[in-house]
Amino acid sequence: APYKLEVKMSSLPSKTQITEALKTASSALAEVETVKKELHRIEKSVATKGSLKAHHIGDPTSKLAMNKVAALPMDKIEKELETALKKIAPFKPEVLEHMKHPTFDIWAWSDNELLLLLQVMMESLGLVEAFSIDTTKLRRFLLAVKYAYNENPFHNFRHCFCVTQMMYAIIHVTGIHNRMAPMEKLSLI
């Protein structure tokens, strides 16, 4: 016997609602594609030029930040970081699990610990392996990011960590990280 399907017309979305949803989805997909293209362009540029400096030539703020980072005593800073790493590593499993949630308390950690937690995030997402990132270079990059931030009450390194950790938490809470390519994870983190 053939099945009879009964659908209440009031439970179906209207043509206008479907059209709006499609427009929104199309717009989001277009933005994702634009970001992917830009990331691939930057990736190619880094591979051929060896640095990101070419992307900031006209930006005096970026030049100042890069000069500030270039003037840092990296050996001394790396020793500080290594000392901090010895004191706190490995992080307890509860810390690593809690970091995957929006309720993670960033105020309980020193800046050096936050640097190492950033590294842990990248490692746990498989980014270090996927992009063959040398751990020492990753730490130097994270240090450069930290020291390039201006010291002010809000847009500072701690805020940088907070935003990064929140994105890390969101992709874990939603489970979307299991369906993302490494480049997509990297662009979000």
Catalytic residue list: 155
Q: Please, which contacts does 72-75 make with residues 24 or more away whose CB atoms are closer than 8 Å?
A: 72/143, 72/144, 72/147, 74/140, 74/143
What would you measure as the largest C-alpha separation in the chain, in angstroms? 81
Reduced to 3 states, what is the DSSP secondary structure of residue 23?
helix
Q: Provide the CB-side half-sphere exposure for 26 (13 A, CA).
A: 6
Chain-centre distance for alpha carbon 5: 47
The interaxial angle of helices 135-148 and 157-174, nearest 10 deg, is: 120
Give the span between the Cα atoms of 163 and 102, in whole angstroms: 10
